[in-house]
Structure 1
Amino acid sequence: MAGRREPPLMRTGLGSGQPPSRGSRIAAAVAVGVTLGCVCAFLYPDGLISRSTDSALHWRRRADSVTCETSEEVTNLQSQLASLERKNADFRKQINELSVKLQMAGQGKNQALYSAGPFGTVKALRTNPTVMPDESTNPRLAKILQQVAVKKEIIVAVANSNVKQTLEMWFTNIKRVGITNYLVVALDDSIENFCKSKDVPVYRRDPDEGIDSIGKTGGNHAVSALKFRILREFLQLGYSVLLSDIDIMFFQNPFDHLYRDSDIESMSDGHDNMTAYGFNDVFDEPSMGWARYAHTMRIWVFNSGFFFIRPTIPSIELLDRVAGRLSREPKSWDQAVFNEELFFPSHPGYVGLHASKRTMDIYLFMNSKVLFKTVRKSAQLRKLKPVIVHLNYHPDKEARMKAVIEFYVHGKQNALDHFPDGSE
């Protein structure tokens, strides 16, 4: 009769009275090892083998050297710091260049990331991002702008000795309004000294053979053409500039009346709503019969003597384009080139400028044609107080400027009456 078999668990292992299996012995050994390791880690957190005396002294000497440097070590550290600062400046410049390249390379690349909203709600981007400021462009000008500019914005005028009297009227009027963030870019020593004597913020550019020769002897148009090259440094430093000719009278702070939603905000040479803001002009050619009427879009040009320009890539490209053309075409009028580059669309053989633009209110930023042809003859419009009046349409500038001040500042109602609409 066969005997009763024991279950396998009872035949082997600890409960059977027989030696444990090989796997059980390994598991027990691992458990003991882990336990001993934990105990050692708790009792000797720094390890079982202590650092040698020499090693300890070495660490103490390093700690002591932090608080007690020798003059040689200080000099070495200063040299290393200067080297790091130079490298840091180089890195900032490279980052700026890369950011510009990325911005340009990324234009038009991300349309797939956007989806159109419901009908009538879609609004395209109008305000381009500003560039990263690069003070290495002109450290001396950067220091001046830090002291004079307000909220990274500044009025800039360019002048030489040929216009000293008009310039004095310009900055005297600015001071009367209470505007502090303005700067005269002096093109010769005489204007620099004159501004300093009148406590007027002034910046004398570093010597530049080409610009200096024009700046010292050039007439109004020659000097006006220089401003596009000069303004580039202001934009590279990250500042928005309100460029002003000196035949302009200020009656309010212009920075309170800017939109800042475009690369360029400019006053217009237009004299009414149609000419300033645009209209559909129909061209009639009877010989074409049925197709005799051709519709054209018209707008009078932006005035290159008063515009607000933000530090963006399209703005800097505009300055480069205009300055480049004027250097190649010395007989060209800077205002004509300014508008051609700003408005001409891309076409075969030409890539247009992709810059956003805004026309300023013609009754706040008033040209002298609007004033003498329209405003002074209207009882309602005479009550308006403009931000500025630009005497751009009339050659007898100083006489009319004085009359404009009498009219708007001193309230002399007949101060403008004896002038003709146009020039004599």
Structure 2
Amino acid sequence: MSGRRELPLMRHSTSAHSLRNSRITIAIAVGIFLGCVFAFFFPHGFFLSNPNFHSPHLSNSIAQVVSTPCESSERLNMLKADFAAASKRNVDLKKQVKELTEKLRWAKQGKDQAEEQVVVLGEQHKAGPFGTVKSLRTNPTIIPDESVNPRLAKTLEKVAVQREIIVGLANSNVKEMLEVWFNSIKKVGIPNYLVVALDDEIANFCESNDVPVYKRDPDEGIDSVGKTGGNHAVSALKFRILREFLQLGYSVLLSDVDIVYLQNPFDYLYRDSDVESMTDGHNNLTAYGYDDVFDEPPMGWARYAHTMRIWVYNSGFFYLRATIPSIELLDRVANRLSREKAWDQAVFNEELFFPSHPGYDGLHASRRTMDFYLFMNSKVLFKTVRKDANLIKLKPVIVHVNYHPDKLPRMKAIVEFYVNGKQDALKPFPDGSDW
């Protein structure tokens, strides 16, 4: 009996001992495992007792946390700088796009030859086959500078069409002719014209007749001439005034007020030269040039000398593209007229045609003579056209009463004939003048 009792106790003791051994073994295993883990992740110990100890992972994390505010500030400054630079580049690009658009518009507006020349301007080329080579004639337009005259720039922005405008200067001395002038423009339906008023009376007169007008700022010396001067004085003044129009980037069709408009002149311009001007010539030879032979008998075999002749351009009606040569022409003429007692038309032609020679640099400007039957002077009309059954059927673009002093009655007669159909309106006038 007692033996049977001892057996369970021995079994219980053995089981308890095994359980304890198993727990110790598990604990040791767990400890070894954790030790391996800590040894792997913390090879230098769990506690950083060494002040020289440096953990790359921990250091980087701390540095990242500490430097975040500084980096954010620096990055913000960098972003601001990048934004400012991008904004500047954007402004520059817009400016370049505007300039390219303007050049493209001018290229499309010109004739085929002018288009090709503007596109290839500045490029180097090889000479083509015989008979195919053509030089460049069309200078590029300048970059507009609105700081020259902001008030005028605003006026032109409203009035001009495709950066072109008719400009007429007037004071109270030519008030009646001015009225015929702008009424003929209105009748044709030309929107882009402007009167530069040289006194208050003309400014008020234009405003009361719904005529676009610009009154210049006071300018001593210049304004005294403009207010009291006659036709020639005002004509000389225009060369200084027109400069601002060109600097603002607008091409100008300068017009004296003794002109009657019968068609829109902008429909008949070529725009392939710096200057397009009507001529004082009255036929093909005088208008477009001819070989005039000078005879000097004492020279014997060499008695005949050939000379090139052309009648002068009229300084009362010409078209200037907004180019450097055009502005240089205005500067040259205005400068000479301020120093010399000379006729502005003579100076205008001398500066335009005289070539470079010792002691003088000629103007490098391209020129075109207008069709003298379309842009007609009064000599052509009264001496030739009105007497020719075929020519009288033609309708000119403008008629400039430049050859006759009785300007106003002839202007009115031209309106009566071409506009109102009065067939005998031109007959009472002589070919020339009485004096």
After TM superposition, is the score higher than 0.5?
A: yes
What amino acid is the match of 1:419? F
SS where residue 169 of structure 2 aligns? strand
1:396 equivalent in structure 2: 406
Counterpart among 266, 270, 283 of residue 259 in structure 1: 270
CA distance in structure 2 between the aligned counterparts of 1:415 and 1:200, rounded to whole angstroms = 28
Q: Is 1:409–2:398 an aligned residue pair?
A: no
What amino acid is the match of 2:165? I
Q: Is 1:303–2:282 an aligned residue pair?
A: no
Counterpart among 177, 194, 203 of residue 192 in structure 1: 203
What amino acid is the match of 2:343? W
CA distance in structure 1 between the aligned counterparts of 2:62 and 2:130, rounded to whole angstroms = 77
SS where residue 221 of structure 2 aligns? helix
Pair 1:111–1:195, CA change in 2 (3 A) = closer
CA distance in structure 2 between the aligned counterparts of 1:57 and 1:292, rounded to whole angstroms = 95
Q: Give the Å deviation of 1:113.
A: 3.2
Q: Is 1:244–2:269 an aligned residue pair?
A: no
1:83-112 deviations in whole A, cap 9, x for unaligned? x99xx99xx9xxx9xxxxxxxxxxxxx999
Number of residues of Structure 1 aligned to a counterpart in Structure 2: 340
1:225-277 deviations in whole A, cap 9, x for unaligned? 00000000000000000000000000000000000000000000000010000
SS where residue 338 of structure 1 aligns? helix
Pair 1:112–1:172, CA change in 2 (3 A) = closer
CA distance in structure 2 between the aligned counterparts of 1:273 and 1:388, rounded to whole angstroms = 18
Counterpart among 212, 215, 219 of residue 201 in structure 1: 212
2:279 equivalent in structure 1: 268
Pair 1:57–1:407, CA change in 2 (3 A) = same
1:421 equivalent in structure 2: 431
Give 4+ residue runs of structure 1 displaced > 6 Å after superposition.
none
2:134 equivalent in structure 1: 123
Q: Give the Å deviation of 1:212.
A: 0.8
1:18 equivalent in structure 2: none
SS where residue 164 of structure 1 aligns? helix
What amino acid is the match of 1:348? P
CA distance in structure 2 between the aligned counterparts of 1:386 and 1:51, rounded to whole angstroms = 85
SS where residue 342 of structure 2 aligns? coil
SS where residue 413 of structure 1 aligns? coil
2:158 equivalent in structure 1: 147
CA distance in structure 1 between the aligned counterparts of 2:222 and 2:167, rounded to whole angstroms = 17
2:238 equivalent in structure 1: 227
1:320-399 matches, cutoff 5 A: 320-329=331-340, 331-399=341-409
CA-atom RMSD, angstroms? 2.7
2:116 equivalent in structure 1: none
TM-score when normalising by structure 2? 0.74
CA distance in structure 1 between the aligned counterparts of 2:416 and 2:134, rounded to whole angstroms = 45
Q: Give the Å deviation of 1:409.
A: 0.6
Counterpart among 223, 228, 232 of residue 217 in structure 1: 228
**Higher radius of gyration, 1 or 2:** 2
1:75 equivalent in structure 2: none
Q: Give the Å deviation of 1:414.
A: 1.1
1:27-42 matches, cutoff 5 A: none
Pair 1:49–1:370, CA change in 2 (3 A) = farther
SS where residue 156 of structure 1 aligns? strand
TM-score when normalising by structure 1? 0.76
Pair 1:254–1:49, CA change in 2 (3 A) = farther
What amino acid is the match of 2:269? L
1:80-159 matches, cutoff 5 A: 113-159=124-170
What amino acid is the match of 1:335? Q
Q: Give the Å deviation of 1:52.
A: 4.0
What amino acid is the match of 1:405? V
2:177 equivalent in structure 1: 166
1:104 equivalent in structure 2: none
Pair 1:250–1:288, CA change in 2 (3 A) = same
Pair 1:300–1:204, CA change in 2 (3 A) = same
Q: Give the Å deviation of 1:367.
A: 0.1
- Unmatched 5+ stretches in structure 1: 1-43, 64-80, 97-109
SS where residue 209 of structure 1 aligns? coil
What amino acid is the match of 1:243? L
Pair 1:252–1:150, CA change in 2 (3 A) = same
- Unmatched 5+ stretches in structure 2: 1-56, 77-83, 100-120
1:40 equivalent in structure 2: none
1:323-350 deviations in whole A, cap 9, x for unaligned? 0000001x20000000000000111111
